[in-house]
Amino acid sequence: MAFFHPDEARLCATFLERGYVIAPAEDRAALDRIRAFVAATAAAFLGLPEPGDPAPFLDGIGSHVDDARLNDLRLAVIDALLAAPWFRDAYFACGKRLLEVLVGNELAMQRGLGFSVQLPDDPSSVLPLHSDVWSEDSPFEVVLWIPLVDVARTKSMFALPLDRDAVWRERLGAFAGRTVEELFSAVEADVEFLDIPYGNVLLFTHTIMHGNRMNREATARWSMNVRFKSLFTPYSDKKLGDFFTPITLRPASRIGMQYRLPGGFDV
């Protein structure tokens, strides 16, 4: 850590201890623009007037859409965001310094977008306990997870801190042939439901076990997630050019990648 600024060293220490950090969005205007766009898109899809205040509209979306149309609404919002030419820059701006300190300054960004709308008491949006690397994702990836509303308790996601994750990972063999719910019951005392007020972002390594439960709160959860990784670290099933695209390739790397030794000499 000797080459890090003290603030960066503390940030690194927290990430290495917990496997995640929660911090204020670095470009609040960019986040507010995303939220307003999401609310306007959802309202248009449902044939409603554009909301003056996105927060209560998003929280109370269960009054306007049922389980049957929820996925169509979610897909419409995803399509609109990915079609907006400013969206990816805005998303990155929300966590740029976090990513540069904890991951690297030559980054690859997920081409797509994870997007969740979880209505109260809706079992269809539950994401069981898992680690993404169990599905052959690269352990070098991180997830920038951004809520569009205040999230806490079952309206949020849960994570198993890095130190406890390491302990339980050594015990996973004992759960062969058992259910994920049995595994969750075993680790439940160690998981943390993350309290993230709107205006903050979460960056976590998806090597740790995480997921969500049924939303037992009174309002809906809206959250986005995009994966990032250092450009030159190993890839797994999700490849560069397919799942990931470079976003901050530095000039020296560009020159090095394009350089060819002169020919015509006898060796």
**Is this prediction's pTM over 0.85?**
yes
Say if CB 206 and CB 227 are below 8 A apart.
yes
Q: What is the pLDDT of residue 2?
A: 80
Residue with tokens 């890095």: 162
- pLDDT at residue 29 is higher than 70: yes
Q: What is the pLDDT of residue 150?
A: 98
Instruction: Calculate mean pLDDT across residues 30-45.
Output: 98
SS3 for 110?
A: strand
How would you classify the pairing of strands 200-205 and 141-147?
Answer: antiparallel
- pLDDT at residue 267 is higher than 70: no
Query: Which of 3.40.50.300, 2.60.120.620, 3.30.70.141, 3.90.550.10 would CATH assign to domain 6-247?
Result: 2.60.120.620
Q: How confident is the model at residue 92 (pLDDT cuts 50, 70, 90)?
A: very high
Neighbours of 233 (CB within 10 A): 14
Q: What average pLDDT does the chain have?
A: 95
User: Cα–Cα–Cα angle for 136, 139, 144, nearest 5°?
Assistant: 110
Strands (E), the chain: 20-24, 107-110, 114-118, 141-147, 158-159, 192-193, 200-205, 210-211, 221-230, 244-246
Residue with tokens 């007037």: 49
- Give CA–CA dist 116/40, Å, rounded: 17
Q: What is the pLDDT of residue 124?
A: 84
SS3 for 245?
A: strand
DSSP symbols for 152-184: -GGGS-EE--HHHHHHHHTTGGGGTTS-HHHHH
Q: Which whole-number Å values give the CA distances from 234 to 108, 137, 138, 141, 203, in the listed order?
A: 12, 10, 7, 9, 20
Instruction: Calculate mean pLDDT across residues 34-49.
Output: 97
- Give CA–CA dist 255/253, Å, rounded: 5
Instruction: Indicate the domain borders of the chain.
Output: 6-247
Tokens found for residue 153: 């308790």
- Give CA–CA dist 63/179, Å, rounded: 34
Say if CB 241 and CB 162 are below 8 A apart.
no
